[in-house]
Amino acid sequence: MVSASAMRAVQPAILSSFVGTHLLHSPQPLHQLFRYNPGSKHVTMQLSRGFSGLTDLLFNGRNAGEVLNAKRKRLRPGKVSPRRPVPDHIPRPPYVKSKKPPGIASGPEVHDHEGIECMRASGRLAAQVLQYAGTLVKPGIKTDEIDQAVHQMIIDNGAYPSPLGYGGFPKSVCTSVNECICHGIPDSRELEDGDIVNIDVTVYLNGYHGDTSKTFFCGDVDDAGRNLVQVTKECLDKAISICAPGVEFKKIGRTIQEHADKHRYGVVRQFVGHGVGRVFHADPVVLHYRNNDSGRMVLNQTFTIEPMLTIGSYNPVMWDDDWTVVTEDGSLSAQFEHTILITKDGAEILTQC
């Protein structure tokens, strides 16, 4: 029987990359979107709007014979250190006082000139923090040490680390290693030679969030891992390139899925991009796979695109911490993310140095 905490963990139909356990807007009843797997924490979505069991059969078992590297051990939880303090003078996002994730705010993040400049500042800081965090990735470093360094750099710049306290999340950054799809909690595990690790940084600066992530190589990564990471980055780049005022959001998912399919990689469906700005998560919900959702991009709108690809199964399984999400077969997963601004000429990437 699925425990109460597990039920909370698998309930969301579609999750933003950091929305925790909050149910998002859904055009279908919850029981029609999900099937619960007794005795597990599978986060499994029933396909709809043109997707069939045939699609799942063809693509969810992709590369089935190649997914596990015999030299790589399955990821296991480490020890999590106490929550790090933030100086009192640094403004907190409203959700910090509550352990309940606020979920997706209704309405898009569309900005005036001042708001755009604030978004550029928060995005630039997030990019700088991520770049610095990447320099720390090497065999032997603990993911908790990366969190400590990220936390310090963010508060030194007068910003708040957005993940800290979001729905009870205990750390200032997400570190998702190997088969971890997203929401990895930094802990006492040391990175090992051959690991890949996604570092997801969000900062809250002057009332605006900047959100970005990148998958880094730790030491000598094999070709399978390097190829997955490269294609995931290409998926993000291709998706950003088609963005402009009036473009349908569903083109993002189609662009990502087409490129992933060429390389026989899975695209994780339960975690999505989102509007970002004055709130951490806002409309629109940005799907990374083929879909028929409505909605078009508008001038001066900000949102994230953050595809997560897998070598094997794209079915996510959640750990007992109610945050860490891993692939069910232990196969590698990679992610890249940018916050973008829709301009009259297309899209401006806000989260780059």
50 C-beta neighbours (distance < 10 Å), count: 9
Q: Which tokens go with 112?
A: 């005036």
Among candidate residues 185, 181, 150, 155, the one with its CA nearest the CA of residue 170: 185
C-alpha–C-alpha distance, residues 155 and 283, integer Å? 28
Cis peptide before 170 (omega within 30 of 0): no
Burial 53-67 (b: 16+ CB within 10 A, else e): eeebeebbebbeeeb
Label each residue of 87-148 as H, E or C. Answer: CCCCCCCHHHHCCCCCCCEEEECECCHHHHHHHHHHHHHHHHHHHHHHHCCCCCCEHHHHHH
Whether 88 has a binding-site annotation, put simply, is: no
Whether 25 has a binding-site annotation, put simply, is: no
310 and 181 Cβ atoms separated by less than 8 Å: yes
Whether 306 has a binding-site annotation, put simply, is: yes
Whether 274 has a binding-site annotation, put simply, is: yes
277 and 119 Cβ atoms separated by less than 8 Å: yes
Whether 151 has a binding-site annotation, put simply, is: no
138 C-beta neighbours (distance < 10 Å), count: 13
| Residues in the annotated binding site for a divalent metal cation | 200, 211, 274, 306, 337
| Residues in the annotated binding site for substrate | 183, 281
| Residues in the annotated binding site | 183, 200, 211, 274, 281, 306, 337
